[in-house]
Chain A
């Protein structure tokens, strides 16, 4: 073990463990929807699997990976982690919270899905566990900021390394987003689940949830972008094409990530059409930094190909290290993001959203964006991180090399089927895709194809977990390879407008207040009745 990185490695370990359990749950779901008979198949198991898969993948795997990655960059780019003891405390709090929530889910006491919409009510320890996970991540955010500040005191006037710039943006997005979650969970759900208050307003809770729920995906995406900008060009043997534009991209996410939640609530009552339109504007605006990212990252890869001697228009692509599992993971994830991004643009237009809202299209969509772009980037980065963190050689390198290709193959089959099924009206989150009559028949074959995709995805997940586990316990001990990062074509030497985090955070807060202030005021001041709890599981 590389002592300076024990903290990061521990986070990575929890992330991979959560990913492994969640993968099994994913397979069970897809088989169940397709009506494939397997032992212990039941409605209860299916909905528990949906809940566990969502919570473990979207909240536990990602959060722990991102926290670990943040500590790696803090150590490597800043040279230190300020408050290592506090960081361990945050880790412990997050682990305890995750385990608490996971136990109540697996015991069937919190089958409320990862959206946990009231008045469906989970076990109080589910909400408290989720809160502790977030509190742990807040401590991480505090440590990241403290580490940056202490670096800044010794390095006045020069721009912070791009990795830390991106991680600071991630931390700020996370604080802005989780404020909404705290309002929901601490303000409404925990008192209600403990019986301290009798009723809850489901629409208010949904509004707070989506204040958190959409920026959550940028919390996952930004660390992936850090890896694309700051590590990938190096792996490919090139240079970062433009450092200042990368800084602009992260700042645009700080500003635009949070005031977008209503695009998840287009079909909800009680929120004005004008406010839904306002959130639509910000939702499309936040496409822009991703489009810029596409250029910069691909240009960086072209630089790599040309540095290796490619001369034609496209043959630089052949020069890229497609056998490197980190490179291929990210490259495949980026290709998926072209389709996922445009799918997102469709979802954000409410005339089209009405066709696909809550249909199988939606989980088809986010398995392309989060389930491919983000998940592949994180898995690929794990292959890159592991030898550097624990000083062991990757075991089963051949398995790691085919794993990303297996994942993308499975996902194409899986996701395309569900997109089509959704357009044919199949609802999401159903124990069986058969339902009744002729519609069920038109969905059934698609769910079978999707189940085949899920089997491929599961095999890929199994390969990933096998490589990580084997490396951890039986990888050959080596001198930890050094962390090497991408060098920009033109180094940035002075602090510019995109380095002013304080100002941009203030802008983000103002936008957030504008986007949510009036709609929340309207909801809170209207006559409301509230709902008692239900536990139909």
Chain B
């Protein structure tokens, strides 16, 4: 195939751009362990009320100091609300839904996950500054979707 010189230069440059983009992502994934959530755990969405963890979701602390926050998203609120977590400690969010698909975004951070009925979304996040964050549902979940918000309060070290 006869390709013009300038076009050949462009094609190689385009290839390099694509490889650079991907290289950045691989470096982040490999060296800095930046991974998307990939936890596979199922739960019966019709029996959440009797579930030991999600029946009455409350923040708890594991022996190793990790804070665990089970969250149930349902039309049109999050439980618990507000969520109180300490600063500078890893916080494991465990998120599920009691009805339709919801979103869970802690505004001002990149903590952002889907709450899918029947599944537990799990991700870990460390808040470095005390303060208050808005939590939004960012997936359409019905007529009151836009009003489905929660609060997250990060408390400083005592």
A interface with B by C-beta (< 8 Å): 43-44, 47, 50, 111, 113, 117, 119-120, 201-203, 206, 241-242, 244-245, 248, 266-277, 280-281, 284-285, 287-288, 291-292, 295-296, 299, 345, 349-351, 353-355, 357-359, 424-425, 427-432, 435-437, 439, 490, 496, 522-523, 526-532, 534, 536-537
Contacts and interface: CB of A to CB of B under 8 A. Distances in A.
Contact of B7 (A275, A296, A496): A296
Contact of A201 (B17, B118, B138): B118
A291 B22 CA distance: 16
The residue in A358, A430, A532 that gathers the most chain B C-beta atoms within 10 A of its C-beta is A358
Given A244-B1, A280-B22, 16 more contacts: A267-B37, A270-B38, A270-B116, A271-B38, A284-B21, A287-B14, A288-B18, A291-B14, A351-B25, A351-B34, A425-B134, A430-B145, A431-B145, A436-B149, A439-B134, A537-B142
A427 B103 contact: yes
Contacts of B36: 266-267, 273, 276, 350, 353-354
B111 interface: yes
A437 B112 CA distance: 20
B100 A536 contact: yes
Contacts of A490: 2
B25 A280 contact: yes
B49 interface: no
Contacts of B39: 269-270
B64 interface: no
Interface residues of B, number: 66
Contacts of B15: 288
Nearest to B120: A269
Interface stretch (B40-48, B54-62, B83-91): B40-48
A119 B75 CA distance: 13
Contacts, number: 214
Nearest to A112: B140
Given A358-B105, A358-B112, A288 B14 contact: yes
B44 A529 contact: yes
A113 B113 CA distance: 20
A439 B34 CA distance: 28
Nearest to B104: A267
A113 B138 CA distance: 14
Interface in B115-158: 116-122, 134, 136-147, 149
Contacts of B31: none
A536 B7 contact: no
Contact of A436 (B7, B21, B134, B138): B134
Contacts of B17: 287, 291
Contacts of B43: 529
B22 to A, nearest CB: 5
A287 B13 CA distance: 13
B100 A119 contact: yes
A44 B120 contact: no
Contacts of B144: 43, 536
Q: Which 8 A-B pairs have the closest CB atoms?
A: A536-B142, A425-B107, A291-B14, A358-B138, A427-B138, A430-B146, A354-B110, A273-B38
Given A430-B146, A528-B118, A522 B40 contact: yes
B117 A269 contact: no
B138 A277 contact: no
A242 B44 contact: no
Contacts of A292: 10-11, 14
Contacts of B145: 47, 429-431
